[in-house]
Structure 1
């Protein structure tokens, strides 16, 4: 799974290495630091061009303008928002972020350890992922279908900024941890547990399906004024030759409750 490289702090400032699954680069100053390209499911090499349109392309056939904001999911369907659209507004009143860890020891203890999403029966450990020398964000091990990965330079769960967690939609063994991620809708709840026993409860504010060639880097990794969560997996058409999906499913959520 690949994505765009996030930031080492809650504000995610700096340069952006944006791009598709293949790592197409573009520089954006003032928004992000080197951001990994779109997430891939990690089950094989990058996708190759093919004639069959993706689900997202078919849903938007004949559309002249993309929606101005990320949709709520559900019966509304999953479509991409305009590239410049901001993250969706909170579904419920947001709460103040958990104060940032100030020492290396505190940061180490505050790393996420588990994620639970009751609606889709996710109860999974959280490991760590980082970027390779090309700036591509790594994915959890394919040997463990129920493992998610926290981008280690994104904020700790509950702290200010967008915390990023990815996971496979499938592996060669079958459905994986985020196989049902596309079923989430605005208002659903997500719980992220930290090693220091703090708990961040997020409420989904929107969900979209986007082509990996037009991954919304700024919307996913850009600065936020509060604590937010991004869940990313694959979706759309599966290219059997390349063993990879053409799209990404992205869930946006805002901190709505915390236990400290």
Structure 2
């Protein structure tokens, strides 16, 4: 090896390293360029959806992705669901039938009334009497002395006719368990039979059940107009307030007309 070959200049010695560094710099530049074209990642440091003036197309498509839908539970002791106030009535468990038409005769002036309700699942076989609202607008209940009697809101549709028919009953009295003590055991698909004063019998099928605070009672969902014939059963539930001598919650059963006999 010659003396000239042994004494390479410092530049020659550093040349391989410079070539590698240049290659890496080129790759880095390419990566920066690609990243500049990618959509930004929301790490939570920027404005949220609420602070944006107008959501983009992707935001509109995914607007409800993390919003739980309003629901009314299927029922059962472990299935009572505190639904949101804006939840619609639950969908029917089975195909429904058309409501009983109101006769267009003089006899129509005498409104048919429910006389008895039977719920085989929870062994209910009880008479039905009329109830109304008090001066404060609260729905009345059957007398506490008649713990096996239920009350039908007389300004609601007759069972089997279009709209929500309302029947309530006590869960307990000082004498013990009352007519609707086991109402919370009903589940979607259970049968309810209501007998009318005109001899007609209507069968409802439970579509949902919920437990709600009396302070946030879903008035619209319970009393709101419906196209078909529906039934609402109401009783008390939750914690018993000894001072007020009442329960803090209501248990509400929703049912739809599934059969009628004339």
User: What TM-score do the two structures reach when normalised by structure 2?
Assistant: 0.72
Relative to structure 1, the CA distance from residue 142 to residue 110 in structure 2 (aligned partners, 3 Å threshold; closer, same or farther) is same
Report the Cα distance in structure 1 between the residues aligned to 2:159 and 2:177, rounded to whole angstroms: 26
Report the Cα distance in structure 1 between the residues aligned to 2:91 and 2:197, rounded to whole angstroms: 29
* Residue 108 of structure 1: how far off its partner (Å): 3.4
Relative to structure 1, the CA distance from residue 168 to residue 65 in structure 2 (aligned partners, 3 Å threshold; closer, same or farther) is farther
Structure 2 match to 1:167: 169
Verify the 8 A CA contact 1:109 1:196 in the aligned structure 2: no
CA distances 1:82-122 after superposition (whole Å, capped 9, x unpaired)? 11010000000000001124457445361000000000000
CA distances 1:172-225 after superposition (whole Å, capped 9, x unpaired)? 100000000000000000000001000110000000000001100010001111
Match of 2:252 among 235, 239, 250: 250
Report the Cα distance in structure 1 between the residues aligned to 2:128 and 2:77, rounded to whole angstroms: 30
Work out which structure has the larger RCO, using CA pairs closer than 8 Å and 6 or more positions apart in sequence: 1
Report the Cα distance in structure 1 between the residues aligned to 2:180 and 2:190, rounded to whole angstroms: 15
User: What TM-score do the two structures reach when normalised by structure 1?
Assistant: 0.72
* Residue 257 of structure 1: how far off its partner (Å): 0.2
Relative to structure 1, the CA distance from residue 104 to residue 185 in structure 2 (aligned partners, 3 Å threshold; closer, same or farther) is farther
Structure 2 match to 1:128: 130
Aligned residues: 197
Structure 2 match to 1:24: none
* Residue 76 of structure 1: how far off its partner (Å): 4.8
Match of 2:158 among 156, 159, 178: 156
Unaligned runs of 5+ in 2: 1-65
Unaligned runs of 5+ in 1: 1-63
Structure 2 match to 1:9: none
CA root-mean-square deviation: 1.7
Structure 2 match to 1:68: 70
Relative to structure 1, the CA distance from residue 244 to residue 88 in structure 2 (aligned partners, 3 Å threshold; closer, same or farther) is same
Q: Which has the higher helix share?
A: 2
CA distances 1:37-59 after superposition (whole Å, capped 9, x unpaired)? xxxxxxxxxxxxxxxxxxxxxxx
